[in-house]
Amino acid sequence: MSTIHNFGAGPGILPKTVFEQASQAVLNFNNSGLSLLEMSHRSKDFVAVVDNSVALVKELLNVPEGYSVLFLQGGASTQFMQVPYNLMKQGGKAAYLKTGVWASKAEKEARLFGETVVVASSEDKNYNYIPKEYAIPADVDYFHCTSNNTIYGTQMKSYPNSPVTVVCDMSSDIFSKPVDVSKFGLIYCGAQKNMGPAGVTMVIVKDEILGKTARALPSMMDYTVHIKENSLFNTPPVFAIYVSMLTLEWVKAQGGVVEMAKRNQAKAELLYTEIDRNPLFTCPVANEDRSEMNAIFLLTDESKEEAWNTLCKEAGLHGLKGHRSVGGYRASMYNALPIESVEVLVETMREFERRNA
């Protein structure tokens, strides 16, 4: 079978070695004679997986003292409700930066728990840029933003100075580069881009911001319950946590998030340079806000769509179809995507240019 270059937006590509280790663990975990899928989550071996995963997150992101790392379920969509449940005071307010569908959904869920203030929105240009001139009110309980917008191909390259706790949905660029965790009160992500498979959500939370709302919380919504139980309050998503651990071990072995950033910058530069140079393609995203994770590009001549799709297929380029709300194409270049795949994409773009000269 010829090589497939997986540019899918997510669940996304993970390292081949991770797939091999995970596949083996399904048959026989740690040479125990048991499948990882039939083991108690209270077993010594699995508790070690959780502990190791937490330690890897802390090491890779240089998480300061006073923060807890959790592995939960329900994806970022559950965090959209869990964040205000835990952080919005009774009758409180929160500020949201509206940079796309996911940011909007987060804001919508928060409205059930209090008042929301949208400090800025890029909806006017179909979210093709990141708003920068806005003020965060000092009287809100937190400010929420989305670091990378998979659908629109935008990414925050810096974060605003905030008078209040900053909460960030980093689902699609966590572990792709260093991040100063100390600037955030809470970071969350669905794992299924750079961290692992679908089915586990990671939360990094500053302990001191919790327990201040006087709201009665259901146990599963309460971060403090999960902190106290080391993410083992109830049966966790065993396999998804294990595969995340393997992926984080891979990131570490490659040189950590500094090396990931280097690779991701190189891949993004290679692709955006070609999109900008090649007259058959165009990128609708503001230059300075272009995502290193998800590059959006359109055909300058839409009548050539079928020819381009065919060429992509022949080259083994997979998952390039853009999101329906933007159209065109999207190349997702998560950590595990080798630069060779981007080279094949760029070469295919050049071949497309030659054929249409």
Q: Nearest CA to 281 among 327, 349, 356?
A: 349
What character string, x for contact with a second copy (CB under 8 A) and - otherwise, covers 174-193? ----------------x-x-
Does 108 participate in catalysis according to the annotation?
no
The residue count for binding a second copy (CB under 8 A) is: 60
Judged by CB, which is closer to a second copy: 131, or 197? Answer: 197
Q: Does 148 bind a second copy (CB under 8 A)?
A: no
Q: How many CB atoms lie within 10 A of CB 27?
A: 11
What DSSP state is assigned to residue 216?
Answer: -
User: Are 70 and 231 contacting, i.e. CB atoms less than 8 angstroms apart?
Assistant: yes
Q: Work out how close the CB of 273 gets to a second copy at its nearest, in angstroms, rounded to a whole number.
A: 26
How far apart, in whole angstroms, are the C-alpha atoms of residue 171 and residue 150?
9
Record the tokens describing residue 355, joined without a space: 């054929």
How far apart, in whole angstroms, are the C-alpha atoms of residue 14 and residue 36?
19
Q: Nearest CA to 143 among 105, 88, 100, 216?
A: 88
**What is the three-class DSSP state of 44?**
helix
Strand (E) or helix (H) holding 299:
strand 294-299
Q: Does 26 bind a second copy (CB under 8 A)?
A: yes
How far apart, in whole angstroms, are the C-alpha atoms of residue 95 and residue 89?
13
Q: Which of 98, 141, 169, 289 is catalytic?
A: 169
Among 47, 52, 55, 81, binds a second copy (CB under 8 A): 81
Q: Does 27 bind a second copy (CB under 8 A)?
A: yes
Q: Which of 102, 173, 206, 308 is catalytic?
A: 102
Among 158, 218, 306, 354, binds a second copy (CB under 8 A): 218
Among 73, 254, 282, 309, binds a second copy (CB under 8 A): 73
Does 102 participate in catalysis according to the annotation?
yes
Positions in 301-330 near a second copy (CB under 8 A):
318-319
How far apart, in whole angstroms, are the C-alpha atoms of residue 179 and residue 61?
7
Helices (H), 278-338: 305-314
**What is the three-class DSSP state of 143?**
strand
Which are the contacts of 344, defined by CB distance < 8 A and separation ≥ 6?
Answer: 5, 315, 316, 317
Q: Work out how close the CB of 57 gets to a second copy at its nearest, in angstroms, rounded to a whole number.
A: 19
Among 20, 180, 207, 302, binds a second copy (CB under 8 A): 20
Using the contact rule CB under 8 A, the part of the chain among 101-109, 161-169, 271-279, 304-312 near a second copy is 101-109
Judged by CB, which is closer to a second copy: 38, or 180? Answer: 38
Positions in 108-137 near a second copy (CB under 8 A):
108-109, 112
Positions in 220-239 near a second copy (CB under 8 A):
220-221, 233-239
Q: How far are the Cα atoms of 105, 163, 251 from residue 254, in angstroms, in the given order?
A: 35, 37, 5
How far apart, in whole angstroms, are the C-alpha atoms of residue 7 and residue 340?
12
Give bridge partners of residue 281 from the DSSP assignment: 299
Among 94, 187, 243, 315, binds a second copy (CB under 8 A): 243
Q: Which of 193, 206, 267, 308 is catalytic?
A: 193
Does 308 participate in catalysis according to the annotation?
no
Q: Which residues are catalytic?
A: 102, 169, 193
Contact residues: a second copy, CB under 8 A = 1, 4, 6, 8-14, 19-20, 22-24, 26-27, 33-35, 37-41, 73-78, 80-81, 105, 108-109, 112, 190, 192, 197-200, 216-221, 233-240, 243, 318-319
